[in-house]
Structure 1
Amino acid sequence: MNTRSVVILGSTGSIGTTALELIGRNRDRFRVLALSAGGDNVTLLAAQALEFGVEVVAVAKATVAQDLQLAFYAEAQRKGYARGEFRIPKILTGPDASSELAAMPCDVVLNGINGSVGLHATLAALDAGNTLALANKESLVIGGPIVTRRAKPGQIVPVDSEHSAIAQCLRGGTPDEVRKLLLTASGGPFLGMPRGELANVTVEQALEHPNFAMGPVVTINSATLVNKGLELIEAHLLFGIPMDRIDVVVHRQQAIHSMVEFTDGATIAQVGIPTMTVPIALALGWPGRIPDATRPWSFAEASTWTFQPVDTAEFPAVELAREVGTRGGTAPAVFNAANEVCVQAFRDGRLPFTGIVDTVARVVTDHDVPSYEELSVDDVLAADAWARTRAREITARTTDNGQETH
């Protein structure tokens, strides 16, 4: 059995920490070459680096380089190393540091960076010929054809549980036998809540996901269903299925992670407990499986599974994303950038919960998508910057009830 070399981007986040826990149980299968993080938790980053003996560590915040070096010494002392018994990894800093790691010769790059800032690292990994285990859905959503053109067949392996499930289900048929993709959604913590009450929910309430423990941005995106909208666009780009043949169904228990409907009427579903361990394990070992990555769903215990359509009146994000994905060009970048600004405004108390998607919709409407002969990274970044500026303008003039003042 060959040992796979792995680079993990976003190692201190939920995806990165789960991946390292998995690798820690399978050290005969994987070797961690490098880690990157934003720089908010240098203590954890230093502990991870020493635990796995990595060669290089990168932080986006150049100002924390000295703090990281001190954290290495503190962690070494905590482990009882005498001076000279351990080697401090090389430290890279700045916004391009993760991209440098992504281009390192390795078997797999796990991109667990949060947000659109992960685009450059995604492209760097693809250009270097590395297999890309993609958890940073935003880079694919905003990059669209830029990313898909750069990727060789099979080079991108999805880490999102829904897309991992679809990739597994697609093994059951040929592409021309696929009728429809079915993405499952938990519905978030506010399923069934009237829109009038949604306007009053707090940040703390929005951070209570019913099944998964995730970072704050992804958790709030799940509460608004923006995350499912991003996944809708991602599924279209990953699997080449038209937007009108991808549906979203609310499945509260999230035992089924997603499904594929075939032309003969058969539907294949991937079942498992609500955890990111299996999709991460599958992405790192693709196309093989890692034995005992997690426990299976128990069919010996009674359980009930429910399914219902998305209430698009209460949660308009999915249909907005479908419209954006159909328009293409820079529209998905505008959708994503505006949402990132609006989520922060909600967390800061400057925007009500319902104002997140309402404001994103306003920014999307204000954006005139040009006709591109070939979309470029500069086009995407310019649209991203415009959307952030426009979203900040609107949220700066928003009152407590979500109405824009003039």
Structure 2
Amino acid sequence: MSKRGFIVVGSTGSVGTQALDVLAEHRDEHRIVGLAAGSQLDLLLDQALTFCVPVIGLTTPPAGGETEVRQRLTQLAAERGIADPVEAIHLGDTAAEAVAGLDADMVLNAITGAAGLGATLAALDRGTDVALANKESLIIGGSIVLDAARASGARLVPVDSEHSAIAQALRAGTHGEVSKLIITASGGPFRGMTRDALRRVTPAQALNHPTWSMGSMITINSATLVNKGLEVIEAHLLFDIDFDHIEVVVHPQSHIHSMVEFSDASTIAQISPPDMRLPISYALGTQDDGTTKRLTSGAVANNWGQPMHWSFEPVNHLAFPALGLAIEAGRKARSFPAVLNAANEVLVAAFIAGDIPFTGIDKGLARALSAHQPAAEHTVDTVLAADAWAREFAAADAAEQKAAQNSGQKRGRA
């Protein structure tokens, strides 16, 4: 039996490294044919040697370019006493796209943010199934990404735990029998706090997620509930369910990852401890015919012999308005989701830097979405233009917020 070929772009991040851990346990059936990363060259080279990868890419290369990369790779291979397996090296802004467009059975896109759009489209245009951890590329691309998948016959396979849970639960019925998708949210570190209290929270507090270990951007997005809004848009696009039939409910324990309610009032849930290796392994187990072979993931199952308590509560939209802003952007479609995503990335960075308060994130989002004038056509170029406009707008908004905050502090000391 021939081995299935996988490409991982964003291989040095949290999802990428966990995906490689899963694939390492199934080397008899799988091989890595390409890896791409952002700037972590040493880790990328270590991965390339460990998995004997023939093609690698780095979007932010070292000063010495390919010569330096090759020298470091040769040195590392010599230290390990093994041959250098890398045949081709792609460097620069399009490196991830070049690697994602290679021949493979599946591309796992684990790039963070809008930068993942090119890689997703490159894989789909090639006709390769995409395991999508980079939700942003689907959210900002919208119909562009869906059309590319339809044109080539490639599949979009969810990797987010919530969408993996929905995909698994949907196997219990037909699309026409679905009454509602129920996406669970942990509530983040500030669940139960008032709007006034949220104005004073610190970046360190926001980065301390109660159940998941994630990168800084997604952790802050979880705290604001922006991430949950993005997940609603993603669910709408992936499963063709309208926004009126997608509900978000707070489930602090993060064991029920999402649910599907059917027309007979039955609700099917996917349950497991919060461990990203499980949804990653489920996605990687997708076969060429669309069926799924469950791979051992290394995740530990629930201990049903121990007492446990699960609770649910509604979202406090007054305290966390970003969720509603994101859903409204999804309803408007076109370039509004791109503006939401790009402005959010800038505003989150400003919050982490201490330039704006936590509540300044959703305030800036509201202003960006209100000011945006979408183009008549929805193309990759108009998406990228909206992304650039939103980043500039959000940067100016953050600067104004910082100036107002500093002015207020000065008046307070006077």
User: What TM-score does the superposition give when structure 2 sets the normalisation length?
Assistant: 0.93
In structure 1, C-alpha distance between the alignment counterparts of 2:407 and 2:340, rounded to whole Å = 19
Q: Which residue of 2 aligns with 1:9?
A: 9
Gaps of 5+ in 2: 287-291, 409-414
**Letter aligned with residue 394 of structure 1:** D
Give the aligned residue type for 1:382. Answer: A
Equivalent AA in structure 2 for residue 72 of structure 1 = L
Question: What is the Cα deviation at residue 176 of structure 1?
Answer: 0.4
Quote the residue 1:196 is aligned against: 196
Worse overlay, 294-303 or 99-108: 294-303
Question: What SS does the corresponding residue of 1:308 show, helix, strand or coil?
Answer: coil
User: Separation in 2 of the partners of 1:88 and 1:2?
Assistant: 21
Aligned positions, number:
399
Counterpart of 1:97 in structure 2 is 95
Decide which moves more: 203-212 or 45-54. Answer: 203-212
Alignment of 1:244-393 (within 5 A): 244-286=244-286, 287-291=292-296, 293-372=298-377, 375-393=378-396
Percent identity over the alignment? 49
- CA displacement, residues 177-201 of structure 1 (integer Å, 9 cap, x when unaligned): 0000000010101111122221122
> What pairs up with 1:198-217 in 2 under 5 angstroms?
198-217=198-217
**Aligned residue number for residue 113 of structure 1:** 111
Secondary structure of residue in 2 paired with 1:340? helix
Shift in CA distance, 131/225, structure 1 to aligned 2, threshold 3 Å: same
Q: SS in structure 2 opposite 1:306?
A: coil
Name the residue aligned to 2:399: 396
What is the aligned partner in structure 1 of residue 80 from structure 2?
79
Give the Cα–Cα distance (whole angstroms) in 2 for the partners of residues 381 and 131 of structure 1: 24
CA distance in 2 between counterparts of 1:359 and 1:254 reads 29
| Map of 1:132 onto structure 2 | 130
Aligned equivalents of 1:404, 1:154: Cα separation in 2: 54
Is the partner of 2:236 in helix, strand or coil?
helix
Q: Is the 8 A contact 2:13 2:110 kept in 1?
A: yes
CA contact (8 A) 1:334 1:363 kept: yes
* Aligned counterpart, 1:55: 54
Describe the superposition over 1:23-46 as per-residue Cα deviations: whole angstroms up to 9, x where unpaired: 11111121001110001x211111
Shift, 1:90, TM fit:
2.1
Residue 368 of structure 1: how far off its partner (Å): 2.3
SS in 2 for 1:282: helix
Amino acid of the structure 2 residue aligned with 1:46: L
2: CA distance, partners of 1:402 / 1:128:
50
CA contact (8 A) 1:253 1:305 kept: yes
Contact 1:398–1:404 under 8 Å retained in 2: no
- CA distance change for structure 1 residues 308 and 223 in 2, over 3 Å: closer, same or farther? same
DSSP 3-state at the match of 1:398: helix
Q: Is the 8 A contact 2:133 2:160 kept in 1?
A: yes
One-letter amino acid of the structure 2 residue matched with residue 225 of structure 1: L
Determine the C-alpha separation between the residues in 2 that align with 1:329 and 1:224.
23
| Structure 1 CA distance for aligned equivalents of residues 60 and 130 of structure 2 | 24
Does the 8 Å CA contact 2:181/2:261 hold for their aligned counterparts? Answer: yes
Does the 8 A contact of 1:42 with 1:71 survive in 2?
A: no
Task: Give, as a single letter, the amino acid of the residue that structure 2 aligns with 1:92.
Answer: H
What is the CA–CA distance in structure 2 between the aligned matches of 1:352 and 1:138, rounded to whole Å? Answer: 24
CA offsets, 1:38-84, max 9 Å, x none?
Answer: 01x21111111100000011000133535533442443244244xxx
Whole-Å separation in 1 of the counterparts to 2:375 and 2:41: 42
Instruction: Report the residue type matching 2:392 in the other structure.
Output: T
Q: Are 1:42 and 1:67, in contact at CA under 8 Å, matched by a contact in 2? A: no
CA distance in 2, matches of 1:61, 1:404: 38
Q: Distance in 1 between matches of 2:295 and 2:402?
A: 51
C-alpha distance 79-185 of structure 1, shift in aligned 2 (>3 A): same
The answer to whether the 8 Å contact 1:352/1:400 transfers is no
* Worse overlay, 396-405 or 23-32: 396-405
Summarize the Cα distance change of 1:402–1:331 in structure 2 as closer, same or farther, 3 Å threshold.
Answer: farther
Distance apart, 1:285 and its partner CA: 1.1
- Structure 1 pair 263–34 and aligned structure 2 pair: CA distance change class (3 A): same
* Aligned CA distance change for structure 1 residues 381 and 86 (closer, same or farther; 3 Å): closer
Q: Deviations over 1:242-278 (max 9, x none)?
A: 0111000000011100000000000000001101111
Give the Å deviation of 1:140.
0.4
- Residue 169 of structure 1 pairs with residue 172 of structure 2: no
SS of the residue aligned with 1:109?
strand
Q: Aligned with 1:34: secondary structure?
A: strand
Q: What residue in structure 2 maps to residue 220 of structure 1?
A: 220
Determine helix, strand or coil for the equivalent of 2:181.
strand
Q: Which amino acid letter does the alignment assign opposite residue 70 of structure 2?
A: Q
After superposing the two structures, state which structure 1 stretch, 175-184 or 287-296, moved more.
287-296
Counterpart amino acid of residue 42 in structure 1:
L
Q: In the superposition, relative to structure 1, how do residues 206 and 170 fare at CA in structure 2: closer, same or farther (>3 Å)?
A: same
Structure 1 Cα separation of the partners of residues 76 and 198 of structure 2: 45
* Alpha-carbon distance between aligned partners in 2 of 1:404 and 1:204, rounded to the nearest angstrom: 24
1:400 CA displacement: 7.1
Return 5+ residue gaps in structure 1 as ranges: none
